[in-house]
Amino acid sequence: MVMNVLLNVCLSLGILLHHYCGCWASSIRYNKFQLVPGHRVTRGTEVSRSTQPDVNLVKCARRCLGDCTVFQFDNVNKLCVTFAEKPYEIEMTGDTNWTAAYLPTSFLNAITYGDYTLVFRLQSGKPGLAYATWTDTNRHDDEKPSSETFPLACLRMSNYSSCDRHFRSKIIDNWSGITEVYLSVIKNDSEVAYIKFNGAGTNHYTWCHEHRIRNSTWYPDIVYGPPLRYWTHIVG
């Protein structure tokens, strides 16, 4: 009931966790990249750019190792570019000269934004009630098999209306090493409200408590903000 009210108000909602260490396992091989021929990346941060004459698509893929999960190759001018962004952070546009490539999210450990990891993302007007999704321990969208087909649009922190489902991370069922929980309410592609909780020593229910609030949109009147009362009901 309360959740329906919230869902009608927000376009979508994401919960990000802050870990001490967001480390990446890197056993990335070039043949695991998803190729998108006839496309190039728009608005990406270039990490490296190579125009060696013998560079080709495979060699370009080999340059994209470790943290690198997105690259593109100019087939005409033999130009290899690697990017800092994750596949769910970039946008592409059609360009026949280029082949864009990204590592499918099933090869990523977690969905990270800076020091935060995405654990939950609610899409308004989509199937599945928030609480039922939060407590659905069978659902791990950042783990195979779900991660193999999970749409990038539902992992982005932009263009929210292009997503058609909720996201639930495996981390909810293994809640450890968490220092901060960031609850963000998005409307019309912009954050309209947030609450940051001290996550240390919590489990996946107890983090959402007024005594744990570090900061929020309603600062300094954070404790009695109406949306908090909703959330105490939803999660507590």
Asked if residue 91 binds ligand NAG (CB under 6 A), the reply is yes
Token readout for 8 is 């009608």
Asked if residue 138 binds ligand NAG (CB under 6 A), the reply is no
8, 76, 145, 236: which one contacts ligand NAG (CB under 6 A)? 76
- 91 φ, ψ (degrees, to nearest 5): -125, 155
- What are the strands, taking DSSP E only, across 84-170? 91-102, 112-113, 116-123, 167-168
159, 164, 205, 232: which one contacts ligand NAG (CB under 6 A)? 159
Asked if residue 97 binds ligand NAG (CB under 6 A), the reply is yes
Q: Which is nearer to ligand NAG, 48 or 215 (CB)?
A: 215
| CA separation for the pair 111, 32 (Å, rounded) | 18
Asked if residue 188 binds ligand NAG (CB under 6 A), the reply is yes
State the sign of the Cα–Cα–Cα–Cα dihedral 148, 151, 154, 156: positive
8, 176, 226, 236: which one contacts ligand NAG (CB under 6 A)? 176
| CA separation for the pair 28, 26 (Å, rounded) | 5
- Select from 49-57, 65-73, 79-87, 172-180 the region that touches ligand NAG (CB under 6 A): 172-180
47, 59, 95, 126: which one contacts ligand NAG (CB under 6 A)? 95
Q: Which is nearer to ligand NAG, 31 or 176 (CB)?
A: 176
What is the CB neighbour count within 10 angstroms for residue 227? 19
| CA separation for the pair 24, 108 (Å, rounded) | 8
Which of 45, 44, 41 shows the shortest CA–CA distance to 93? Answer: 41
Position closest to ligand NAG via CB: 162
Q: Smallest distance, Å, CB 47 to ligand NAG?
A: 22
137, 219, 223, 229: which one contacts ligand NAG (CB under 6 A)? 219
Please say whether the beta carbons of 33 and 1 come within 8 A.
Answer: no
50, 146, 198, 215: which one contacts ligand NAG (CB under 6 A)? 215
Coil vs helix vs strand at 214: strand
| CA separation for the pair 126, 45 (Å, rounded) | 33
Interface residues with ligand NAG (CB under 6 A) are 76-77, 91, 95, 97, 153, 159, 162, 174, 176-177, 188, 215, 219
